[in-house]
């Protein structure tokens, strides 16, 4: 596990222009969650290849895209082509199955966190805590896909459930860093961080945390 990922990552770093990073405040190195804008397919690729601490960052990955049989349905619902375009019938018959052949082996080699949307979600949190315990970091794309090459302005909030778990098990009050990815300028802008407050119920601070992340995207 991992050899394919590191090989592809090395190849991307060789053939793609480097990226620069602007930190709003200096990074203290403590276990953190980086929340970037999606920037299409470029966001995840750039974060895993060029982000300054990417070697000890672990992205959350849609578990369905790691299973060959589930990929075609995911591709069709995630708008990988413009609805109604001239080539839609051809793309519908080919692209989902090409993706099913290519994506699962790549994603299974990534040192990431499979994200489940059912009772298995506890596996997502456990794996995340394993990495944070090693004083490493998570990458979570919180934007919700809304159509061809677009995402909802409102962020998913389920990932925040990890905050009280991490504090209870590790004594770490998680810090979240919004990251704006400008893949055309080859630039990461890391915004003002916001920290989970263990003295307050999560539901009383969810909106504050999400608003701070959104402001930096």
Residue 184 within any structural domain of the chain: yes
Average pLDDT of the segment spanning 136-151: 74
Query: How far apart are alpha carbons 49 and 44 in whole angstroms?
Result: 8
Q: Can you give the pTM of this predicted structure? A: 0.89
* Mean pLDDT, residues 103-127: 93
How far apart, in whole angstroms, are the C-alpha atoms of residue 135 and residue 44?
21
Q: Is residue 82 part of a domain?
A: no
Q: Which of 146, 59, 72, 78 is nearest to 102 (CA)?
A: 72
**Measured distance CA(211)–CA(14) in Å, rounded:** 36
Residue 78 pLDDT > 70: no
Contacts of 128 (CB under 8 A, 6+ apart): 58, 60, 113, 138, 162, 166
On whether residue 91 sits in a domain, the answer given is no
- pLDDT for 161 equals 96
pLDDT for res 79: 57
Alpha helical stretches, state H, 134-202: 162-170
Two tokens at 151?
Answer: 């995402």
Say what the pLDDT of residue 96 is.
Answer: 78
Residue 74's pLDDT band, with cuts at 50, 70 and 90, is confident
Do the domain assignments include residue 31?
yes
Domain that holds residue 144: 3-63+110-215
- Residues 6 or more apart in contact with residue 164 via CB below 8 angstroms: 198, 202
**pLDDT interval class at 151 (50, 70, 90):** very low
pLDDT per residue as tens digits for the range 182-213: 988 999 999 999 999 999 999 999 999 999 99
When pLDDT is averaged across residues 145-166 and rounded to a whole number, the result is: 77
> How many helices (DSSP H) and strands (DSSP E) are in the chain?
7, 10
Task: Provide the β-strand partners of residue 179.
Answer: 36, 190
- Predicted local distance difference test score (pLDDT) of residue 150: 47
147 Rama sector, left if φ>0, alpha if ψ -120 to 50, beta otherwise: left
Q: Is 136 domain-assigned?
A: yes
Interval 68-73 mean pLDDT: 87
- Give the rounded distance of the alpha carbon of 118 from its chain centre: 19
Candidate ranges 42-56, 64-78, 83-97, 141-155; pick with highest mean pLDDT? 42-56
Tell me: pLDDT of 149 over 80: no
Number of domains in the chain: 1
% of the chain with per-residue pLDDT over 70: 93
Does residue 89 lie in a domain region? no
189, part of any domain: yes
Measured between its terminal Cα atoms, the distance across the chain in Å is 32
68 in a structural domain: no
- 109, exposed or middle or buried, with CB in 10 Å at 0-12, 13-18, 19+? middle
Token pair listed for 90? 């051809």
Lowest mean pLDDT among 9-23, 78-92, 94-108, 133-147: 78-92
- pLDDT for the residue numbered 127: 97
């Amino acid at each position: 596990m991992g050899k394919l990922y590191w090989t592809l990552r090395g190849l991307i770093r060789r053939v793609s222009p480097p990226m620069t990073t602007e930190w709003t405040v200096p990074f203290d190195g403590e276990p953190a969650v980086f929340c970037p804008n999606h920037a299409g397919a470029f966001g995840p690729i750039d974060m895993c290849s060029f982000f300054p601490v990417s070697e000890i960052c672990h992205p959350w990955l849609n578990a369905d895209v790691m299973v060959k049989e589930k990929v075609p349905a995911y591709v069709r619902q995630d708008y990988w082509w413009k609805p109604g375009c001239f080539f839609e019938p051809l793309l519908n018959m080919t692209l989902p199955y090409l993706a099913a052949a290519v994506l699962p082996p790549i994603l299974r080699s990534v040192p990431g966190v499979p994200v489940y949307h059912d009772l298995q979600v506890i596996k997502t949190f456990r794996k995340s805590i394993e990495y944070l315990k090693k004083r490493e970091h998570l990458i979570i794309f919180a934007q919700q896909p809304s159509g061809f090459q677009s995402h909802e302005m409102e962020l998913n909030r389920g990932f925040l459930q990890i905050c009280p778990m991490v504090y209870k098990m590790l004594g770490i009050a998680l810090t979240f860093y919004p990251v704006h990815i400008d893949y055309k300028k080859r630039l990461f802008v890391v915004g003002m961080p916001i920290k989970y407050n263990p003295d307050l119920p999560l539901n009383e601070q969810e909106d504050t945390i999400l608003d701070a992340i959104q402001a930096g995207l």
